[in-house]
Every structure is written in structure tokens, then in C-alpha cells.
Amino acid sequence: MKQRRISKLIRIGTVNIGGNSPIVVQSMTKTDTRDVAGTIRQIQEMAEYGCEIVRIAVPDKEAAQALLSIKRGTHIPIIADIHFDYRLALATLEAGADGLRLNPGNISEKKYIAAIVRAAKPRGVPIRIGVNAGSLPRSANPKVSIAKQMVEAALEQIRLLESLDFDQIKVSLKAFDVPTTIKAYQLIAEKIPYPLHLGITESGLPRAGVIRSAIGIGVLLYQGIGDTLRVSLTGDPKEEVIAAYEILKSLNLRERGPTMVSCPACGRCEVDLIGLARSVEERLAKMDSPIKVAVMGCVVNGPGEARGADVGIACGKGRGAIFRKGEVVRTVEEKDFLEVLMEEVSKI
């Protein structure tokens, strides 16, 4: 893995982004923002799963005003997602937004940006320049690649913000096409000092969406690029948060809760391994500590192949071997596989 690109540190509410800070997990609510109680409930659930910053759509004045009550009922920083109307940005700043996301594709005029900066700067509220491949500003040059057009759109707004003496900036360059997204982030990473918010846009329902997101975000993180991320899925926002942590855990960039090592099972396996693995996953779901648990389908390969696990089981016909760090510590009958494994887990 490449060493992480060190970006300028900014702060969204109480959360640091960039510099040497851990890579921050964000997501977005899917409730009607004007439904204050429903939105608060969703934010609280997202926070339980580890969401560190939440973004909410602000399509109108009523939604902007709702932010005030939503802020009161929640404890993680809130970013207002603004399109088209700079006055909604002003209203959410007044309501206490911790961050703004602007789309250069629909708010780019200097006088509007200047009005937003005048309100954001004294409040210490950063602005994300959130470029989407599908809503590029009209000035974009159609002769160059989409990735370059996205970078150009971002750079133009960055220059505008800098000319207004504003540098609390974060940038995203999202496309549906994974190589386009990667290219865009690679290009801008060399040109600006600001932290980067990673994501693949419109990536679809979870089954395909997590894969598109994992590859796009994963390739960039592997190259040391990225300070915060949001996995966009057509699904429950907590699935976005879970996927975000799985991406970070896969690259050893964050720890959160248990990790399961489990083999795919094959013709060598003589128990219902998939069922056992599912039960273990369910039981582990309530745990917070970053324990690594292995569920392996055969006694012969199991303990060795899962040497890195803190505790595990290797299942044979009728009996299984419980192991710790690759060493077998006891054997157990099939009917007791789950209970004994969980007992060993609880000892750690």
C-alpha cells in the first residue's frame, strides 16, 4: 500500500478530516428531512453502526429549518446537502449545519458562492465541493475525458473559494464508472492540499453497489488517497455504514467490531458450515471489540489456514477442533459447535 497522502486538516463539528486523522465514515439520511422525528431516528441508528458524520438533503426552506430541531436531537455532525439555491445554504448555516456540500454543477456564480462563504467562514463551517459526473457545469469542455472535466469543475470552484480567502474545503469527484472515478481522484490528489471525500455515485442496489464502491474506494485507499468516504447504496443507510467499515477493515485502515474468517466450504466439508458461520456472525453482531473469529470447514486445513484468527473452529465429521492463534486447544461434538465457540470467544 502506498503511504497516505497527507491533506490539510479540516473539522466538521467535532470530527477531524484529513491530516493524519483516521478515515472518517459518512452516510446520508433517506428520510424526508422535514420529518424531524423520523430523521433523528435514522441518524441515531446510523450512529449506532458507526456513522461519524451524516449528510441530509435540504431541498427546500422547510427542510433547512428542520435542521435546527434535528441538530438538537442528535449528537453527530450534520452536513447539509445543497443544490440549486444558495439561500438554502444560508438557511442551514443559520440552523446550525456543521458542514455544507455544494454541487458546482448547479451553484457556481461568484456572488452566490461569496454569500455562502460570508456566512460559513465566521462559523468555521467547511464546504465540500461535490462534483458528480452526471451534473457537470456547462463550462465543462466536452473534448476532454469525463475525469478531467470533473477535476476542472472542482478546481474552478476551489480557485473561487480561495479567491474569497476560504480554505476549509473538502472535495469529491463521483461517477458511476469506477475507472473514471479513480482517475479523477488521482488527478486532483496531486493538484490540491485539501482532504478528499471518496465515493462511487448511483452505484445501485447493495449486491452490485457494494462491489462497485469497494473497488473504486478500495483502489484509491490502497494508493493512499482519501480522508473520508461514503458508500452510496440503494438501500438502508446502515448498510452503507457497514460496507464502509468493511472496506476500511479489509485494508487494515480502521478496526470495528469482530471480523470473521470463514472458508467457502467445499466437497471436503462434512457439516453445515454456512449455517454455522451465519449463526456465529449473528452472535458476534452484538460485540464491539475487534476480535477475529474463524469458522473453517475441515480439520485438516482449518487451524493452519486460520492461524491469524484469535479463536476459531475447524469442523470435521461429528467433531470439531477449537483453536486459538492456530493451536488446537480442545475438541468438541458437533451439537456443541456454536455454544463452545462462543464460550471461547467470550473468554477473550
| CB of residue 24 to a second copy, shortest distance in Å | 18
Q: What do you get for the CA distance between the two ends of the chain, in Å?
A: 30
Spatial neighbors of 239 by CB under 8 A, at least 6 apart, are: 206, 210, 233
Q: Please state at what angle helix 237-250 crosses helix 206-222, rounded to 10 degrees.
A: 40
CB of 30 to a second copy, least distance (A): 5
Q: Which residues contact 84 (CB under 8 A, 6 or more apart)?
A: 106, 107
Q: Shortest gap between Cβ of 220 and a second copy (angstroms)?
A: 10
Q: Least separation, in Å, of the C-beta of 7 and a second copy?
A: 21
Closest to a second copy by CB, 8 or 83: 83
Nearest to 346 by CA among 258, 243, 239: 258
**Closer by beta carbon to a second copy, 117 or else 199:** 199
Q: Which is nearer to a second copy, 157 or 262 (CB)?
A: 262
The nearest distance, CB 79 to a second copy, in angstroms, is: 12
CB of 43 to a second copy, least distance (A): 12
The HSE-up count of residue 23 (CA atoms within 13 Å, CB side) is 32
Residues in the chain: 348
Alpha carbon dihedral 15, 19, 21, 24, in 10-degree steps, equals 60
Which of 317, 313, 319, 314 has its CA nearest to residue 341? 313
Q: How far is the CB of 163 from a second copy (least distance, A)?
A: 28
User: From CA 116, how far away is CA 82, in angstroms rounded?
Assistant: 11
User: Cβ closer to a second copy: 118 or 268?
Assistant: 268
Residue placing its CB nearer to a second copy in the complex, 116 or 182: 182
| Phi, psi of 334, rounded to the nearest 5 degrees | -55, -40
- Nearest approach, Cβ of 165 to a second copy (angstroms)? 31
Nearer to a second copy, 163 or 234 (CB): 234
* Residue nearer to a second copy on the CB measure, 117 or 198: 198
The residues near 24 (Cβ < 8 Å, ≥ 6 apart) are: 15, 16, 17, 52, 53, 227, 228, 229
19 vs 59 by CB, closer to a second copy? 59
Question: What is the bridge-based pairing of β-strands 78-82 and 53-57?
Answer: parallel
DSSP state of 296: E
